[in-house]
Amino acid sequence: MEASQSPQSPLPVFPSGLEPKEIAQACGLDEAYRAKQLYSWIVKGAPSFDAMTSLPQELRALLDQRFGGLRSSSVSSALEDGDGSLKLQVRLRDGAAVECVLLEDIEGRKTACLSSQVGCPMACQFCRTGTLGFLRNLGPDEIMEQFYFLKERRGFISNVVFMGMGEPLLNLPAVRKACFLLSDPEGLGMSLRKITISTSGIVPGILDLTEHGPKVRLAVSLTTADDALRTELMPVNKRWDLTELKAALLEYQAKTRERITLELVLLGDRNADKESAEKLLRWIGPLRAQVNIIPWNSVPGLPFKEPSKAQLKAFSEHLASQGLICVQRMHRGRGVMGACGQLGDTLRADP
């Protein structure tokens, strides 16, 4: 018996990344109800096969022997910030590592920020993860296990954002499966409206979402509406420039009728002035969008600076004065290098 193979990852998928019919096949279970029992235990957060007390002990022992444990990964470190944020480093079975973060807002809502790749191929100049390079995609089990590890430590999680390490739309099959497992009414039952996929601007991925779903919320890391500056800061713009990106977003919006979130990382000396705000307003045009302003989170060694409070205020107020919905993101997780753009302590156990 072999675990199911992911087309995007060289590693077999463990039961934590499978739905009941796939669990039955991967685990060699002839009785469909046994697979449903196993699935139910997984979504309840069972940490091991042995904890699944409704399964026969012999079956639990056999599954443990064949898989070497219920989960394919483990938590190698946990850091808690004074603002309530939690950052976990998750060690994968091949020695690589990713990070995930639990963020809690002032009203107590908990959001899991999950990674989709080991490292990131996008090389955004203001992002720590972008300096690490790219190792591989994650399987759906490795994505879901991040969620379960955070849930074990903090309880009920209301929202999920694919804004951790990696570009989700370059690993869409695994991200799509994770969205299904998160929202399955027979499983965790999270509303798709509570799930956000954030992209740096992968146009084919946006069009794939447009045609095939899932109908989650879409966020785009825009940063600037100046083509030359965006190409400098975000190399993805060399492949799909602002004109192509906007065309894809208009098609997405025409089909889904959903509002899009545009994320702007404000760099104090590059894109936080009135001219930048005017370019953004002109670019957005007919798009129905909300702008999330993210003051750059400091990363040692990167040649940028945070915007001043005066710059943030002036930029936000100018956008709002033109009728644009504008939200300033809070600095949560910075104390543990868990805020936007700060993830990526290590990729491997061994250099």
In angstroms, what CA-CA distances link 89 with 79, 144, 255?
Answer: 9, 14, 38
Per DSSP, the residues of 271-284 read T-SHHHHHHHHHHH
Tokens of 78: 């946990």
Which residues have C-beta within 8 Å of that of residue 324, sequence separation ≥ 6? Answer: 281, 284, 289, 291
Residue 351 is predicted with a pLDDT of 38
Q: Amino acid letter at 333? A: G
CATH topology of domain 74-336: TIM Barrel (3.20.20)
Residue 341 is predicted with a pLDDT of 77
Residue 54 is predicted with a pLDDT of 95
Residue 232 is predicted with a pLDDT of 97
- Say how far apart CA 139 and CA 116 lie, in whole Å: 8
Residue 12 is predicted with a pLDDT of 79
**For residue 202, what is the DSSP state?**
-
**For residue 12, what is the DSSP state?**
B
Tokens of 29: 């279970």
Please report the sign of the dihedral spanned by the C-alpha atoms of residue 66, residue 144, residue 32, residue 54: positive
Q: Is 340 labeled as catalytic in the residue annotation?
A: yes
pLDDT profile of the chain (351 residues), mean per 10: 43 90 92 95 95 95 92 94 90 95 89 96 94 94 98 96 97 97 97 98 98 97 97 98 98 95 93 95 94 90 91 93 86 66 66 38
Peptide bond into 56 cis (omega under 30): no
Residue 349 is predicted with a pLDDT of 46
Tell me which of 19, 22, 99, 167 is the catalytic residue.
99
| Helix locations, the chain, DSSP H | 20-27, 32-44, 57-67, 140-154, 172-183, 203-212, 227-233, 236-239, 242-256, 274-284, 309-321
- Say how far apart CA 47 and CA 292 lie, in whole Å: 36
Tell me which of 113, 124, 127, 340 is the catalytic residue.
340
pTM over 0.85: yes
Instruction: Report the side by side order of strands in the sheet with 159-162.
Output: 74-80, 86-91, 97-104, 110-113, 159-162, 195-199, 217-221, 260-266, 289-295, 325-328
Residue 59 is predicted with a pLDDT of 94
Domain boundaries, the chain: 15-67, 74-336
CB atoms within 10 A of CB 140: 29
Residue 81 is predicted with a pLDDT of 87
